Structure 1
Amino acid sequence: MTTAVPTERRSWLLLGTLLLGQFMALLDVTIVNVALPSMRADLGASGSELQLVVAGYTVSYATLLITGARLGALYGTRRLFRTGVLVFTATSLLCGLAPTATALVVARFVQGAGAALMMPQIMSVIQLRFTGAARAKALSAYSAVLATGGVAGLLLGGVLVEADLAGLGWRPVFLINVPIGIAVYALVGRVAPTDRPSGERRLDLAGLALSLPGVLLVVTPLVLGHEQGWPGWTFPVMAVGALLLVIFVRVQRRVHDPLLNLDVLRVPGVRSGLVTLALTMIAYGGFLFSTALHLQNGLGDTPLQAALTFTAFGLTFGLGSFHWQRLPKRTHRWLTPVGMVISALACAVVALGFASGGHGGIPVIVALAVWGGAVGAAFSPMLGNSLRNVPPAEAAGASGLLTTTVQLGQVVGVATFGTVFLGLAPGAHAISITLALLAGVMALGAVSAAALARA
């Protein structure tokens, strides 16, 4: 699994299995949100404990992605993915059986670590086992799962909590992962070839000692700050984290066997691709968070009703991710900037639709569908163009950067635009202003995407 092999049916079966694991991990980013009131009633959890149930997963997940990518390069993607699935599945069971809020918070932190071991391996497999049109198709599947995971989490969470299966309340939100995780673990063992030792067994401990606290100190205030009204500790902590990451980058350039090979940034298309990806995920995270709050708190929707509003966006995103290759090949390079422009315009239409004070009716649903289809058609070519020139030897570094950018982008989007939304007077004005700003972010993404198209 550490060397490129010809694309074959077994490779597609392997990819499907890995993507099932990815979908499971993405569900848990959002699936718990709708279960929080039930958790509070059952466990007597405080507001801060509930916040950590949500944030703990995201913090450990984002913090360990770079490390997970490097460990995969050293010890094998098969071994690391299965280890991640095992940790994720076991802690999902612990979450579902948690007797106290404290036990649930601890389990959620470890569950995020399991996800961080899984996720970078998927992109490494795509880079190493697929080429040409097959790689484009594999990236399309990856993008579709990435797009629909968060929305599906909202929907599934609402269904499970309202169903109250066997009187278990919120617990099936976590327990559903157990049979899926067992199946993924067994299937990967059957369809993935045995890992071959890389010959390098050194882990950059200096880089690890800088990157882990650096990312942790940046991510934690971003995740917790907007909920707590940005208390005084948040900005100094982020500043210390940013300083550690600057030192980390300088150290990585001098280390023979670095945790993150920054030479990948010199590959044509990688830098502009990462900028475009970051702006896209910032907009996506800010959109899901602020719109879900507006629908539930402002318009009185149930969590399930709010999730259904996102269905048009999620479905067309998936369709766009899968079917963009049917467009003329000469247009593929420019799908990302054009898709970002259309997305910005559709977002502006949604903002205008909500400005009336209601749900916006059919125009908002149509605009959400157009927005999802446009960003879906843009996303897969974005990944493909970003990684097109990355050599196999640098696949792990590229995977670590890409998956970390995806996660941090969403975190920054939630923190930044969640703060903007919550800082405005509640109602139509708040969501309209927030979405208008998000349209601006996507317009910036179109500019960086144009640079990517020319790379």
Structure 2
Amino acid sequence: MTRTLPAPPAAPAGPETSTRPRTLAVLAVVLLGQFMAVLDASIVNVAIPSIRISLGATGSALQLIVSGYVIAYAVLLVTGARLGDRFGQRTMFLAGLAWFTIASLACGLAWNGLALIVFRFLQGIGAAAMVPQVMTMIQRTFTGPARARALSAYAAVISGGVVAGQIVGGLIVTGDIAGTGWRGVFLVNVPIGLALLATAPAVLPAGLRAHRRLDLTGLAVLTAAVLLLVLPLVLGHEQHWPLWTRLALGGSVVAFAAFVLVERRVHRRGGEPLFADAVLRAPGLVPTAANLLVVMCTFGGWMFVISLYLQEALRYSALHAGLVGAPMGTVFAIASMTWSRVPARLHPAMIVSGLLLGGATMVVLGRRLGDGHGMGVPELLVYAAMGLGFAVSFSPLTTRALSKVPPVLASDASGILVTCVQLGIVIGVASFGSLFLSLTGTAAHAVGVTAIAIGLTVLAAVALAVRAVR
């Protein structure tokens, strides 16, 4: 059997337990760290045209600059969760935060595209050590209704950070603070990281410790499978899909199948697989994870594509391109924080309806852009409706799954769900980014076809959502 942590001591009953200044300070610190990590998965999108000019990066290099961070983040998340259980959540949060801050400084000082790709991978390692501790500390700090509210805020930060990154990135690049240009999107993490490093030791609880075994074989196979899938998708369109890309894609299928077999073998031998059997049996967790992967695949792909299109085809400034996302981001944020007011019996229908709305609006927007329209008022209204659809599906779906996970399984559940979110972004940038970059004809035609393909993929995710909300 998979080993789990011993149950944490029960918190005193009553909402006042979770509203004391100290517990609110814990929430503020961990969510700010979470926000930094999620923000960095998207903030670079709006800077990629400037990076292309400054460093002479190719389209494939730009995709790796975006996805390199997320690859390391995704494949190491569960291992980061295990290390948190082994050495303490506070210790790993601080270690990951320090690594992330140093890597952010290195990204801001990168001298060419290859250096930036490497530093982005290193930045993702820091995020993987820090992020899994967040949900675990929330689960163990809050109880009852306060825990549900904290988890809702957690889900909103995960999803909202992707949208906020576009706007914040646009402000930083266009503002060109102290002549840093695109480098500022990385350097902004340094003062925030230092402030958190100074504050967190006095605020965060030490947490429980348990001897957790690491699944290094599973980690190696999963990493190989992801790279075999992503690298040919990213590099293939510029190299005209040589034989190695097709072999690698076929090899990724074999590698993912091998990963399943390795995990089963680890479980049978009494070890601790990356995807623990006890966690996978939690109600609705597997279909929720699959749904989040598909949804974030479309969302991550769209954020990469629209940034390139707005700045390189429509000649928008970085700030203008970032502000285009403001209506969607505003609606998304408001809906993410207020959806819980909808009666619980309506939540399953709300989740499914939200995905239908998100997919439909993406198709409509694709048709508009493909016909040569810019991002005018009609398009921005459609964009805002898209934000509403994603918000009323993503946040409640995540909260619904996490609220059913016992605290003793919190770290593994956090790792699995966020791994799927980040793998979705990686696959989306690689697949839909390559589709956009490889289409011939006008940029309007390319973005239109890509948007329609993304929208249809969102609609396909509805079937997974129906299973997840049963």
Deviations 1:346-397 (CA, angstroms, capped at 9, x unpaired): 2233223324312253221111112112211221210122234323332222
Deviations 1:117-159 (A, max 9, x none): 1122223333443444333322322232223323333333333
Aligned to 1:166: 178
Partner of 1:442: 458
Deviation at 1:406, TM superposition (A): 0.3
Q: 1:43 to 1:349 in 2, by over 3 A?
A: closer
> What corresponds to 1:24 in structure 2?
36
Q: Residue 281 of structure 1 contacts residue 410 of structure 1 at CA under 8 Å; is this kept in 2?
A: yes
Conserved? CA contact 1:62–1:219, under 8 Å: no
Amino acid at match of 1:20: L
The question of whether the paired residues in 2 share the 8 Å contact of 1:144 and 1:319 is answered with no
Contact kept, 8 Å, 1:136 with 1:381, in 2: the verdict is: no
CA distance in 1, matches of 2:446, 2:116: 33
Q: Which one is further off, 345-354 or 73-82? A: 345-354
- Structure 1: which amino acid aligns with 2:8? T
1:31 partner letter = I
| 1:76 corresponds to | 88
For 1:132 and 1:247, locate their aligned partners in 2 and report how far apart those are by CA, in whole Å: 40
Q: CA distance change for structure 1 residues 100 and 156 in 2, over 3 Å: closer, same or farther? A: same
Q: Distance in 2 between matches of 1:422 and 1:99?
A: 25
Secondary structure at the counterpart of residue 233 of structure 1: helix
Greater Cα shift, 89-98 or 204-213: 204-213
Change in CA separation of 1:381 and 1:312 when aligned onto 2, cut-off 3 Å? same
Deviation at 1:226, TM superposition (A): 5.0
Letter in 1 for 2:350: L
2:8 alignment partner in structure 1: 3
Is 1:247 the equivalent of 2:271? no
Structure 1 gap segments, 5+ residues each: none
Contact conserved, 2:43 with 2:169, CA < 8 A, in 1?
Answer: yes
Provide the residue aligned with 2:14 in structure 1. none
Where do residues 358-373 of structure 1 align in structure 2 (5 Å cutoff)? 358-359=373-374, 361-373=376-388
For the structure 1 residues 267 and 59, does the alpha-carbon distance in structure 2 shift closer, same or farther, using more than 3 Å as the test? closer
Q: Does 1:196 align with 2:219?
A: no
Contact 2:166 2:325 in 1 (8 A): no
- Summarize deviations over 1:34-92 as a string: whole Å, max 9, x none: 44565566667677766554443233222312221222222222211111101011122
Contact 1:78 1:194 in 2 (8 A): yes
Query: Partner of 1:257 in structure 2?
Result: 271
Larger CA deviation: 144-153 vs 361-370 = 144-153
Q: 2: distance between equivalents of 1:95 and 1:311?
A: 26
- Cα 1:313–1:231 change in 2 (3 A) is farther
Gaps of 5+ in 2: 12-17
Determine the C-alpha separation between the residues in 2 that align with 1:451 and 1:112: 31
Following TM superposition, by how much is the alpha carbon of 1:177 offset from its aligned partner in structure 2, in angstroms? 0.9
1:248-397 to 2 correspondence within 5 Å? 248-253=259-264, 254-260=268-274, 261-359=276-374, 361-397=376-412
CA contact (8 A) 2:225 2:256 kept: yes
My pick for the range that moved more, 337-346 or 212-221, is 212-221
TM-score by length of 1: 0.89
The alignment of Structure 1 onto Structure 2 pairs a total of residues equal to 453
State which of 226, 237, 243 in structure 2 corresponds to 1:215: 226
CA distance in 1 between partners of 2:53 and 2:298 (Å): 33
- Shift in alpha-carbon separation, 1:39–1:279, aligned structure 2, 3 A: closer
- Structure 2 partner of 1:232: 243
The 3 A distance-change label for structure 1 pair 272 and 45 is: closer
Cα-to-partner distance string for 1:332-354 (whole Å, 9 max, x where unaligned): 23321121122222223322332
Structure-1 separation of matches of 2:196 and 2:243: 44
Distance 1:4 1:139, change over 3 A: farther
Shift of the alpha carbon at 1:327? 1.8
Report the counterpart of residue 123 of structure 2 in structure 1: 111
Q: Is the 8 A contact 2:356 2:462 kept in 1?
A: yes
Separation of aligned partners in 1, 2:234 and 2:130: 22
> Aligned-pair distance for 1:435?
2.2
Q: 1:302 to 1:129 in 2, by over 3 A?
A: same
Identity, in percent, stands at: 44
Task: Verify the 8 A CA contact 1:77 1:121 in the aligned structure 2.
Answer: yes
